[in-house]
Amino acid sequence: MKREDLTEKILDIKREKGWSWAQIAAEIGGYSPILITAALLGQMRLTKPQAEKAAALFGLTTAEARLLNEVPYRGSIPSMPPTDPLIYRFYELVMVYGTTFKELIQEEFGDGIMSAIDFDMQMERLPNPKGDRVKITMSGKFLPYKYYGNEDGVPDYGFGNP
């Protein structure tokens, strides 16, 4: 079985049972609902105990449970740019504000990147009389670029401005 097939099977069962992602995450436990949802959609992996809980919940085989525990091939968006309007808006945010994110992060932290591996994210609904708002908070560890072959007191890493 391919991981995409397992994702479709999980989505079919979720739909058939009328479950929400919050209900599923509460049953599996151990990680944030965002990470569990990402794992069941094939973008992250579950621990063995979580994969076993997911298998029991969804009626999966032992092989399918093992697949939930394997390191996935991440970043599988069917097309670029994405055609789904909601996903496209995130792409649009990066197209419009990506250079601003880069400049402000590197001005504050130095020459490096925000990790998507050592990363946390929360999502919440903010009631608003003009229409509820989506609040997404992302927090990633700053990873400075390492400079090599440096001499004359040049720092090893890209923290701040030397």
Q: Is 115 a catalytic residue?
A: yes
Domains of the chain by residue range: 3-69, 85-144
Q: How confident is the model at residue 81 (pLDDT cuts 50, 70, 90)?
A: confident
Q: How confident is the model at residue 138 (pLDDT cuts 50, 70, 90)?
A: very high
**Per-residue tokens: 34:** 């965002």
- Answer yes or no: pTM beyond 0.95: no
DSSP 8-state code for residue 145: P
DSSP 8-state code for residue 127: -
Catalytic residue among 92, 103, 107, 133: 92
Catalytic residue among 89, 103, 107, 139: 89
Q: Which CATH architecture has domain 3-69?
A: Orthogonal Bundle (1.10)
Distance CA 93, CA 106 (A): 18
Predicted pLDDT at 29? 94
Predicted pLDDT at 147? 77
Angle of helix 48-58 relative to helix 33-40, nearest 10 degrees, comes to: 70
Q: Which CATH architecture has domain 85-144?
A: 2-Layer Sandwich (3.30)
pLDDT in tens, 95-135: 998 999 999 999 999 889 999 999 999 999 999 999 999 99
Q: What separation in angstroms does the CA of 112 have from each of 54, 104, 137, 157, 159?
A: 37, 12, 20, 9, 8
The residue length of the chain stands at 162
Q: How confident is the model at residue 161 (pLDDT cuts 50, 70, 90)?
A: low
Catalytic residue among 74, 115, 133, 139: 115
Q: Is 92 a catalytic residue?
A: yes
Mean pLDDT of the chain: 91
Q: Which helix (H) or strand (E) holds 86?
A: helix 85-109
Phi first, then psi: give them for residue 22, nearest 5 degrees.
Answer: -65, -40
